[in-house]
Structure formats: structure tokens, C-alpha cells
Amino acid sequence: MADAENALSLLVTLAVAVIALAFPFVASGYHIYQGAQVLIFAIAMLGLNLLTGFNGQISLGHGAFFAIGCYGAAILMTKFGLPYWAAIPAASAVCFVAGFLFGFPALRFGGLYLALATFALAVAAPQILSYTGFDAITGGSQGITLAKPQAPIGLKLTSDQWLYLVCLASGAALYWAARNLARGRIGRALIAIRDQPIAAETMGVNAALYKTTCFGVSALYAGVAGGLSAIAVGFVSPESFGLSLSLAFLVGIVVGGLASLGGVLFGALFIEFVPNIADQLSVNFGESAKALPGAIYGALLILVMAAMPTGVAGGARAATNAVMRWLASSRPIEVANDGGADVAAKYEGKGESP
Amino acid sequence: MINRRIFLQSSAAAAALAASAGTARADDTPGITDTEIKIGNTMPYSGPASAYGVIGRTEAAYFKMINEQGGVNGRKINYISLDDAYSPPKTVEQVRRLVEDEKVAFLFQTLGTPPNLAIRPYCNANKVPQLFVSTGASTFADPEHFPWTIGFNPNYQTEARIYGKHILATKPDGKIAVLYQNDGFGKDYLIGLKDALGADHAGMIVKEASYETSEPTVDSQVVTLQGSGADVLLIAATPKFAAQAIRKSADLGWNGVRYVTNVSVSVTTVLKPAGLDKSKGLITAYYGKDPTDPRWNDDPGMKEWAAFVGKYMSPTELKDANATYAFGAAATMIQVLKQCGNDLSRESVMKQAANLKDLELPLLLPGMKINTSPTNFSPIRQMQLASFDGASWQLFGELLMG
């Protein structure tokens, strides 16, 4: 049973990889840009999912780390003349440090209190970025305009295709890293801290170190996403990092499935496309329907969560299990969850907060 | 695909067949056929700035009216307006969709300073006209660097220059204090004011204080400004903060001339909360007819507007200054298309947008004229001062050029 599931998951991963690779060569420039946005959101959500899904630390402030990555990369490129491939890792390193440091006060907060503390980050970020004193480097409310990076000479790719592939390569590498992190000793420690903090510490897990490092790594992911967003959009300004961005990330990981790394792709697709769909649907209610896109977005969100309470990943897993059971119904085989893999469902079932 | 657009009348298909041997020039431009002109737009229909959504809806309604009247030169307008939630990355995405997928001929009235800044390089690199952007930031009137982007609103600096000139004329020995919002909007007023005062009178500004939109009140800033001994106050603040500043300065018993930005002149949302008595004597500058002002009830332009609202919009939008603004912008767009005749190439549209001569609009103040030229990308540059008498704004003096 577990073997069949592994084979299926490998198959799905391969299929996604093939589609993702082929996409920029069949789609138009505008769709490739959308694809890059999806990948950027997915990267940020990978980081947030490590923190919230695996480690149980709720962050409403990842938009702020995204902003640091975005501005960091933009400033390094425009003021220090760094190429984008150097600026983005450098900006992400800054994000790691920022996240790691923020992890210390976060140690003192649990659950909702941490959510509020990070919420403050998200609220403060746009204002700090538009602060007059920083105008010389941040461009103030006028923002910073960046030139789009071109594909290396010799590669016959448009700038959109190249950007998409850069995002895809970053996303794949970061997914692989997150997967290894989550599946090994570190992942077990993170989950143990989330579910049974006292037991974990008794077993010798250094909870403070794991939690702060997890915060740092999570911020690093958001920073990479921010940096990529800076070059993909070609413009950064404080308005890009409103509260709604941080909330969208959280919505994305919950829709995709908490503690499901593959689920972030669905989450990213959701936050990229559902607002567009909501805008288009609202036309049916007449031109004077004020604020309807927001209401329709909310209704769609409720629908998705009602249909799949454990997110798309949880829903897909339940569907797969049902199919497996049906296939195996001729043979008496015990249907068992293989412990660690089903963390999302486990997290949902758990009543108390860490 | 369903869009926020004005659908073509059912006869369009038949007309297309009949007119298939039309002008060759028009066929070369995306979004232009013998029967249709496709116009793209982005608006914050959702998100924090969604109050501006009425601008997009008014424009859609205006183009619907034009289509019912037969369109422009036999071409119907297909206005595709998409939601960008005032988020620059989303604006870039939506504009690329409009240009690359929907293949619009050009953009019109995309809203907001950051969203327009984000798409400006794309529009200019691809030579897609970015017409009459819906923002007062002065940076969009820069034909030298961005020949495909043209502004519309009298920009904030223009307005501030008018205040500066008025201060110089009426209070040459005045001491000026400025309260401004700490962003591009607020700073434009500071720049415009200093510009009008010039180097000789720069010392007239004795105190500046800024605030962040996240602050609960601006009371402490107003106290600081009053403490400077200034006798002229310029309030470059958005409605909520302007109301606080007006009330606080009156409570402090500050006897000075108070100028308030045109952004915050609504009697219902600013002056009533501040206190009508406390608002007495305020000075501002207008360029459009205030739809809430009964003085215009018998004005032909306002009657035209009321008739339009009656037929195409909801009655609640009758008194919305954003809606009257959009009415004028849409009319300007139609004028440009009429001037283009049958040459609707992007070059021609841009050329005619920069070739408006003494255009008068029904809802602009009497005597105001819109002018553009290859070196002037600020269509509305005149304003008239008005003072508040405790009940309504009273226009006074001549039309002024900022």
C-alpha cells in the first residue's frame, strides 16, 4: 500500500515537473508572467508552511519578509550594481538574519499571540518602507523601477521565459531542500515541538534553537520569493506589501494543506487566480455591484474549505485513499496511515495549540 | 471569457461583414477594427482603494452611452476594465493581459500612482499609449522621458503652486506652516509650494510637519505647527486627517489663513466631522463643479450629468465627485478618438492625445479649457480658489494657472 502511494506521488511529481517545464514554451508572455507569479507565491508559502504547518508557529507577517527580500534585491541591484543572481541570495541572507532575530521574541509568544506579534510586522512594513528618512535608498513612495533581466546570450529565450525558468529552478531547489528538511531528523523535531513541546524538550530537542532557526529559514524562503518578485514585476513600492499579501500567504497554505509541501502549489494557484475569477464573476451582478470581487472571493474560499477541510493536499490524499481502497477491495488489505506522511490530517485533528 | 466590458450590439457581426473593405491603417493596430475600438483599464474594484471603483464604472457607462449613440466614426467602444486591487504586481499582470491577450489598442485612466509607475516602463517599451492616467502625481507629465504616458488631473504640485501664488499676493509677509501626509501625495504639495514661493521667499515656510496614515490623529502635529507662530496653514492631508487638522487648529484658536487640499473638501465627509463653524474661512482650489453644491442645480453641464446618471447609473452615484471626474475623463477620451478620425494607430492616438485644443467639459468650472501639446502632458492646469462660508464653498477670483 505504502509502495503504491510512493509510486503515485513520484508519478505526480514527475507530471508536475514536465508540465512546469513545458509551460513557458507553449504559453504566451502574459501567461508565463502569471506562471512566474504562481511560482513566487509557492516559494514564499513553502517557507511559511515550514514555520506554520510543521512547527506550529503562526505568522501573519510573512509579507514583511517578502518585502525585505524584494527591497533588498532592488536596492542591491540599483544602488550597488549587483547582478540579480547575486542580489537575490544576498537579500535572502538578510531575510534569514531578520527572521532568526525575530524568532527570539517569538519564542515568548505562543499561538494567537505570535500571530498578533507578526501581524504588527505586516502592518508596519509598508510604512517603514515609505518613511522619508529612507527615501534616498528606498525611493520612498515612488518605489524603485528595475530593468528586466535578459536571458544569457546564447539562450534563445524571451525575458519572460528566462524569468519563469529562474523562478522554477529556485522553486525546485527550495522544494527539494524543504522536503529533505521536513522528512529527516529536523522535520521530526519541528513536528514534535509543535505537537508535544514538553515531551520534545524532555527528549533533548533544543526547542529554542529549532524554533528560531525555523523562523529564519522560513523568512529566507519569503526573501527569495520577494527577490524574484522584484525582478519579475520590475517595480517595487510599499503598496505591494499590504496586509492582504501576508493574509494571502496564510490563506494559500491553508487552502493547499497545512504541512503539505506539494500543497503550496495549489495554494499559490488559488491566490493567483481566484481573485481574477472573482472579478470576472462579479460582472454578472451588474456594473454597480461594489466590492463584490471581495465577497465572491470569500464565498469561493469558504466553498473550498468546506469541501476540503484539510486543504487540497488533504482532499487529494483522501481521494487517493478512497481509490486505493476501491482497487484493493477484492483483496483484504489493511488500510493504514504511514505515520509521518499524514501530518496535515493529524494537525487538523489536534485540538490544542502548541 | 466574461469581462467587465461593454458588449457589442448584436448587429456588430453583420456590420463587420459589410465593412470588411475598410481602411488599411486601422487594421494594423491591435484592438482596432472597422467596428470596434478596444480600450483597456485597471481599477481597484477590491482592496483598500475600492472607493475609486466608481471611476471605472462611470467610464464603462459613458462608453455604453456613446455606443448606443452609434459609437465614434462607426466604431463601438469595447472597454475592458480589470481589478488590480491597487497592488502594482497585479496591475502589471492585468495590463499584460490587456495588451497581450485581449489586444487592446491602448490603456485609459489606469488608476493610482504606484500602479501607473509599475506599468509605465512596459507601456513605453512596447509603445502602448497610457492615456490620461487617473492620478495627480506630477511625474506622469514627462513627455521627454515617457512619450507614451500622459496625465489628466491637475497635479498636486500645480494646485500647491496656485496656493503659493495666492499667499504671495495676499500675505507677502506671512509665515507658513505645512501639514503633509508622508508620501508622494503630501510631498508634491511641499514641492509645489516651495516652487511657487521661489528662492526669495523660501524662508516664509517656518515649520513643516508630516504624519503617517497609520497614526490615529494629527493633533500633536497641529499643536507643533501652531507653536511655530505661523499665520498661514497648508493642510495637505487625506480626508480623515484633514478633518482632524481643521478641527484642532480651530480649537487651538489659531487665527490664520488655512488652505486645504482639493482632495479633502467634501462637506459631508470632511467639513461636517470637523465642524462647519470650525471650517469657516478655509480656502481650497477647484477645477470641477462640485456635485453636492446646489449652485450648479440649473447648470446645463450638471443637468447633462444628472440625465446620464438617471439612465446609466445608480442614483447614489449622482453626488459622487469621483463619478463626475470620470465623466469628464471619458468625454476627453472620446474627443481624442474623434480627432483621430480613421487613423487609429497607436502613434496617431498618442499624437491626438497631445493635441487637445481648448476642450471644454460639461463638469469643469465655466471657462476652463483643456490643452495639451507635445511638450505639455498636463491636460488640466487651471483651478479657481474657493472659500468656505460655513455652509458651502464659494468660488472667488479668476481661474488660475499653476
- For B74-94, write each residue's pLDDT tens digit: 999 999 999 998 889 999 999
Do B236 and B326 fall within a single domain? no
Residues of A in contact with B238 (CB under 8 A): none
Domain spans of chain A? 29-349
State residue A332's pLDDT score: 55
Pairs of CB atoms within 8 A across A/B: 129
Question: For residue B291, is it within any domain?
Answer: no
Q: Give the residue from B3, B7, B42, B46 with the most A CB atoms within 10 Å of its CB, the best one to mutate.
A: B46
> Domain residues for B63?
12-154+299-371
Give tens-digit pLDDT for A102-159: 998 888 887 788 989 999 999 888 888 877 677 778 877 778 988 888 888 888 889 9
Question: For residue B379, is it within any domain?
Answer: no
CATH of the domain at B170: 3.40.50.2300
Question: For residue B376, is it within any domain?
Answer: no
Question: For residue B395, is it within any domain?
Answer: yes
Torsion angle of alpha carbons B376, B378, B379, B385, nearest 10°?
Answer: -130
Do B247 and B390 fall within a single domain? yes
Give tens-digit pLDDT for A160-211: 999 999 999 999 999 999 999 999 999 999 999 999 989 999 999 999 999 9
Beta bridge partners of B111: B134
Residues B185, B343: Cα–Cα separation, whole Å:
37
**Would the CB atoms of B184 and A141 count as touching at under 8 Å?**
yes
Do B72 and B137 fall within a single domain? yes
**Would the CB atoms of A233 and B2 count as touching at under 8 Å?**
no
Judged against a pLDDT cut of 50, whether residue B22 lies above it is answered with: no
B100 has a chain A CB within 8 A of its CB: yes
Judged against a pLDDT cut of 50, whether residue A348 lies above it is answered with: no
**Predicted ipTM?**
0.80
Instruction: Report the domain count for chain B.
Output: 2
Do B134 and B203 fall within a single domain? no
Nearest CA in chain B to A229: B89
Do B199 and B167 fall within a single domain? yes
Do B259 and B391 fall within a single domain? yes
Do B143 and B187 fall within a single domain? no
Residues B300, B294: Cα–Cα separation, whole Å:
13
CATH of domain A29-349: 1.10.3470
Judged against a pLDDT cut of 50, whether residue B14 lies above it is answered with: no
Do B207 and B240 fall within a single domain? yes
Q: How far is CA A202 from CA A189, A196, A207, B107, B133, in A?
A: 12, 10, 10, 64, 63
| Of the partner residues B3, B122, B317, the one whose CB lies closest to the CB of residue A280 | B3
Shortest Cα–Cα distance, A172 to chain B (Å): 23
Nearest CA in chain B to A278: B83
Residues A328, B180: Cα–Cα separation, whole Å:
71
Do B267 and B395 fall within a single domain? yes
Backbone angles phi, psi at B180, to 5 degrees: -135, 150
**Would the CB atoms of B117 and A127 count as touching at under 8 Å?**
no
Do B131 and B70 fall within a single domain? yes
Do B90 and B206 fall within a single domain? no
A286 pLDDT band, cuts 50/70/90, is low
Shortest Cα–Cα distance, A302 to chain B (Å): 18
Q: Which residues of A211-226 are buried (b: 16+ CB within 10 A; e: fewer)?
A: bbbbbbbbbbbbbbbb
The fraction of chain A above a pLDDT of 90, given in percent, is: 53
State residue A291's pLDDT score: 58
B7 has a chain A CB within 8 A of its CB: no
Do B179 and B249 fall within a single domain? yes
| Of the partner residues A232, A237, A282, the one whose CB lies closest to the CB of residue B117 | A237
Residues of A in contact with B88 (CB under 8 A): 143, 233, 235-237, 239-240
